[in-house]
């Protein structure tokens, strides 16, 4: 069993009140499954995603990830799990705006201390796998919404994690780009990647093999999807990019600093200007000065990252 959640409860303290968000969640996910967790805003699905992604811990209950009890892990161990075991894809991409697609994909490898030469090869391979070999030097401002999400998927998969955890992966995309992203997920699933996708939309959930519905913090149904939608992914870069060249981002895309929480940006901050970092056109410090210091000195930046992920705030 890859994921085992037993009697998971989560509450938040608001003033003097204890606000329950998740109630007695019991969930098993096998390696290689493609699961959608579906629910309306406020249902608890984002809080559940944070617990599955080791971004937050339950108030009570047991979460066993790949045979290891998460409650027993220290912060450093959790950072390693988030970096190597789980790949994250977010609705609003969370790309560093001053870095190229290649540099954005490089970040998890830097934190994992992968050697420079191997890093570049892995990044090129990851971007090629999402049909972005023609856009490697482009910065996020030069990319369409669908292309940004494919960069985010390449970043999530570059360390070959066991789990791809996607939070509303099509929520900021137009319908055509969203379908292409779902085609890419199908390709990854066929290659053996375990996918857990959080969504509020039934039409997106139907791309998964299994649909779990959550409402008011409780799982109300867990069923095999008999109406699975299958879309073929194209590996032709020119074809895919031409289709997405004018794709729109239909929701706001302010990049919150959740990447700090996932990758432990205290370490990235030091490494980003290292001489081993390729194509370091602009330092990570430039980005942190514009978006809140990510070196660990600014609690506001950390709070923003937590809120973006739904931890102690944001959508639950």
pLDDT at position 280 is 40
Q: Is the CB of residue 83 less than 8 Å from the CB of residue 111? A: yes
Task: Quote the mean pLDDT of the chain.
Answer: 81
User: In CATH terms, is domain 33-56+74-309 a member of 3.50.50.60?
Assistant: no
The tens digit of pLDDT for each residue in 305-315 reads 333 333 333 34
DSSP the chain: --EEEEEEEEEEEETTEEEEEEEEEEEEE-TT-EEEEE--TTSSHHHHHHHHTTSS--SEEEEEETTEEGGG--HHHHHHHHHHTEEEE-TT----TTS-HHHHHHHHHHHTT--HHHHHHHHHHHHHHTT-TTSTT--GGGS-HHHHHHHHHHHHHTT--SEEEEESTTTTB-HHHHHHHHHHHHHHHHTT-EEEEEES-HHHHTTSSEEEEEETTEEEEEEE-TT----PPP--HHHHHHHHTTPPB-S-----THHHHHHTHHHHHHHTTSTTSTT--S-HHHHHHHH--TTTT-HHHHHHHHHHHTTTSS--
pLDDT at position 234 is 59
User: CA–CA separation, 278 vs 169, rounded Å?
Assistant: 29
Q: Which two tokens stand for residue 231?
A: 């879309």
The pairing of beta strand 34-38 with beta strand 194-199? parallel
Section 227-239 average pLDDT: 69
Binned at pLDDT 50, 70 and 90, residue 239 comes out as: low
Report the Cα–Cα distance between both ends of the chain, in Å, rounded: 26
The tens digit of pLDDT for each residue in 253-304 reads 344 455 555 655 444 333 433 434 444 433 333 433 343 333 333 333 333 3
Binned at pLDDT 50, 70 and 90, residue 15 comes out as: confident
The tens digit of pLDDT for each residue in 148-179 reads 999 999 999 999 999 999 999 999 899 999 99
Section 138-142 average pLDDT: 96
Residues forming a β-bridge with 38 = 199, 213
Section 186-214 average pLDDT: 96
Binned at pLDDT 50, 70 and 90, residue 16 comes out as: confident
In the predicted model, is pLDDT for residue 209 greater than 60? Answer: yes
Domain ranges of the chain: 33-56+74-309
């Amino acid at each position: 069993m890859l994921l085992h959640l037993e009697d998971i409860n989560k509450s938040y303290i608001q003033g003097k009140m204890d606000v329950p968000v998740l109630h007695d969640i019991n969930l098993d996910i096998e390696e290689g499954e493609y699961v959608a967790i579906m629910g309306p805003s406020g249902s608890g699905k984002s809080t559940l995603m944070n617990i599955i992604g080791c971004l937050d811990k339950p108030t009570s209950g047991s979460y066993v990830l790949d045979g290891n009890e998460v409650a027993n892990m220290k912060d450093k161990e959790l950072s390693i799990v988030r970096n190597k075991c789980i790949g994250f894809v977010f609705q609003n991409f969370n790309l560093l705006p001053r870095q190229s697609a290649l540099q954005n994909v490089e970040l998890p490898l830097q934190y994992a201390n992968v050697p420079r030469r191997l890093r570049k090869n892995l990044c090129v391979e990851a971007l090629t796998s999402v049909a972005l070999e023609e856009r490697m030097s482009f910065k996020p401002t030069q990319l369409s919404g669908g292309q940004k999400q494919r960069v985010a998927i390449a970043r999530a998969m570059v360390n070959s994690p066991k789990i791809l955890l996607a939070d509303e992966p099509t929520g900021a995309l137009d319908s055509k780009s969203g379908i292409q992203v779902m085609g890419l997920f199908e390709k990854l699933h066929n290659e053996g990647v375990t996918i857990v996708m959080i969504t509020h939309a039934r039409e997106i959930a139907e791309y998964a093999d299994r649909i779990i519905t959550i409402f008011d913090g409780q799982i109300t149904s867990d069923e095999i999807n008999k109406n699975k939608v299958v879309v073929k992914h194209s590996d032709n870069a020119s074809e895919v990019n031409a289709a997405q060249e004018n794709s729109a981002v239909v929701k706001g895309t302010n990049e919150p600093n959740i990447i700090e929480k996932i990758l432990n940006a205290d370490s990235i901050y030091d490494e980003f200007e290292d001489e081993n970092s390729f194509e370091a056109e602009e330092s990570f410090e430039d980005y942190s000065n514009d978006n809140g210091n990510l070196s660990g000195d600014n609690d506001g930046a950390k709070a923003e990252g937590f809120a973006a992920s739904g931890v102690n705030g944001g959508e639950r």
